Chain A
Amino acid sequence: MFNESLKQLSKRLAKKEISSVELTTEFLERIKKFNPEFNAFITIDEEKTLTQAKQADQKIASGDTGPLTGIPVAQKDIFCAKGWLTTCGSKMLSNFVSPYDAGVIERFDQAGAVNMGKTNMDEFAMGSSNETSFYGPVRNPWDVAAVPGGSSGGSACAVAARMVPAATGTDTGGSIRQPAALCGISGIKPTYGTVSRYGMIAFASSLDQGGPMAKSVEDLAILLNVMTGFDQRDSTSLQREKEDYARDLEKPLSGLRIGLPKEYFAKGMSSDVEKAVEQALDQYRKLGAETVEVTLPNSPLSIPVYYVLAPAEASSNLSRFDGVRYGYRTQIYQDLGDMYRKTRAEGFGVEVKRRILIGTYVLSHGYYDAYYIKAQKLRRLIAQDFKHAFSQCDVIMGPTAPTVAFDLGEKSSDPIQMYLSDIYTSAASLAGLPGMSIPIGFGDKNRPVGLHIIGNYFAEARMLNIAHQYQMATDWHQRMPGI
């Protein structure tokens, strides 16, 4: 049952073949069995989880059901959930029991979903391997020597190991798509502004965007229908008509024009990833698509631009952690300044401090124009490249990450190598475009490879259609790690 789709599970619940409590218990058993090895969860609270499952069963009994009623879903520990420890992977919030719910949590609760616990992540979502978490690294279920990717590594691992049917993630420069690729699952970062950021602990506010992670694209569409929608408490939430993201799943792909950016295929991609991507593109040609070469000339600069803008916003957002109103406070201090300095030195990990320092520097007097404004100008050029490319194609495809999952410890002492894991994903984030990753096979050491699909603004339904048709013709998304 643990490999079934959300639709199949929902049907079982509706037919009363199984109760939500039984379904939830089965997945809790899998979490208990596998989590000690994989460390995908920071917090598991059986009592809270089963209470929600019982409520879901009451809803089902009264006929008040939707596609997610009674379905177990894990929540990334970046989403504040009332009464739940919400750490964001940091010592700074190691004692933070949230007094309120994030907009996303409210939506899942209203849909009757069951919160299975809070998943591990890179500290404050800063990382591409889950190794910066205060709660220890997550292991890749395909190979315990490998990282799961990050920052939503716990969610990716939990879905890949079938500890949960679905999970949430957040993506600032690739944090949904890269771990989805490295763990062989599906994940989508929708257009900036479609998922509420209220109660989603901020990293870089102009880039942060929540999204679902699941086994299949069909499941992503169901989850996205619940996650998206206007929230007046988020100042950049978009006021749009509610749409059904599953509406186009079954459409044929004949006439589809796939843009292949020559910069993404030029160099940098390892040969095993390239082979899998080429095979996936062949599959798309068989499905009736044609491929055209496009160019994104400024996209190679997306990493330096990202590493100016994201740390700049982070240094501002993370200034709120001062040990006064909530979170960690140092034990011994002399005055207020000393308390701030020690609290932040002890509460933040190495990578978070590094990014705060980069951000503080690029925003400081005398460097603001040379770094911050310069990066904002390049951000516009990167966005314009996409606009031009989308006049020639319907979607853009390429690899999600340059290599398959790397080994734990392989890049943790070299920040730049780590940053380059997001070389293909950060450009779409800067432009605010939707991007997704789907599994397309295996590369070196039998580790998964992901295909990156970038769409135009609000083209999620079309992207899901394109990805779903691939999954109808292949079975990579149904493969499970042999754990």
Chain B
Amino acid sequence: MIRQISGSMILYYYFNIRLLIHMTLSINDVKQIADLAYIEISEEEANATLNQLSDIFKLIETMQAVDTSQVEPMSHAQDVVQRLRDDAVTESDQRDLCQSIAPQVENGLYLVPKVIE
């Protein structure tokens, strides 16, 4: 038990130190996030985004002022459990309808650039 508490305290300090370091985002951070999000970003956009994200994260950092060590995270507004249903077919085949709005289809297949050489 004691070990667990001290472990989480270490984690707590670890995060705070990391936060201090990362409170100011770098241009490379912005580019890396954009890459993770699959959004192409130009140098100019990355610079503009950097300034705005830095301001927004300053606002977000105000959360750290409240001690929440004893609080359980709340992921949802209602305490509900996932409903289960019978394993039965509920949808009818609407492939033609759904593919009629696709950017590119051929023989009932969605076309994308070649992914395997």
Residues of A whose CB lies within 8 Å of any CB of B are: 95-97, 99, 192-193, 206-207, 232, 235-236, 238, 298, 301, 303-305, 307-308, 315, 319, 322-329, 333-342, 344-345, 348, 353-354, 356-358, 360-362, 364, 366-367, 369-371, 373-381, 383, 415-416, 419, 430-432
Contacts and interface: CB of A to CB of B under 8 A. Distances in A.
Given A303-B59, A361-B33, 9 more contacts: A96-B101, A99-B100, A235-B83, A301-B66, A324-B102, A354-B53, A357-B39, A358-B53, A376-B73
Interface string B18-57: 1100100000011001101111110000000100110110
B82 interface: yes
26 contacts: A97-B101, A99-B100, A207-B77, A232-B83, A235-B82, A235-B83, A236-B78, A238-B78, A303-B59, A324-B103, A326-B101, A344-B38, A357-B34, A357-B39, A360-B33, A360-B37, A367-B22, A370-B18, A377-B71, A378-B71, A380-B73, A381-B68, A415-B56, A416-B55, A416-B56, A419-B59
Contact of B113 (A192, A335, A374): A335
Nearest to B102: A325
A326 B80 contact: no
A324 B74 contact: no
Contacts of A380: 71-74
B74 A383 contact: yes
A245 B103 CA distance: 44
B44 to A, nearest CB: 12
A358 B74 contact: no
Contacts of B107: none
Q: Is the interface of A mostly helix, strand, loop or mixed?
A: helix
A240 B107 CA distance: 45
A341 B42 CA distance: 11
Contacts of A354: 49, 52-53, 56
Contacts of A376: 73-75
Interface string B78-101: 101011010000000010011011
A327 B40 CA distance: 18
Nearest to A375: B63
Contacts of A373: 73
Nearest to B48: A350
B51 to A, nearest CB: 10
B112 interface: yes
The 3 closest A-B pairs by CB, nearest first: A432-B77, A376-B73, A380-B74
B41 to A, nearest CB: 7
B5 interface: no
Q: Is the interface of B mostly helix, strand, loop or mixed?
A: loop
Contacts of A374: 63-64, 68
B2 interface: no
Interface in B7-24: 11, 15, 18-19, 22
A263 to B, nearest CB: 14
A338 B56 CA distance: 29
A342 to B, nearest CB: 5
Contacts of A325: 98, 102, 110
B1 interface: no
Given A232-B83, A301-B66, A360-B33, A206 B77 contact: yes
A307 B37 CA distance: 17
B33 A364 contact: yes
Nearest to A305: B63
Contacts of B41: 345
B66 A432 contact: no
B74 A377 contact: yes
Contacts of B103: 323-324, 326-329
Nearest to A96: B101
A393 B112 CA distance: 58
Contacts of A338: 113
B37 A336 contact: no
A212 B85 CA distance: 30
Contacts of A99: 94, 97-98, 100-101
Contact of A238 (B52, B80, B100): B80
A339 B63 CA distance: 37
A99 B49 CA distance: 36
A378 B53 CA distance: 21
B62 interface: yes
Contact of A236 (B19, B29, B76): B76
Contacts of A353: 39, 49
A371 B60 contact: yes
Nearest to B58: A416
A59 B75 CA distance: 44
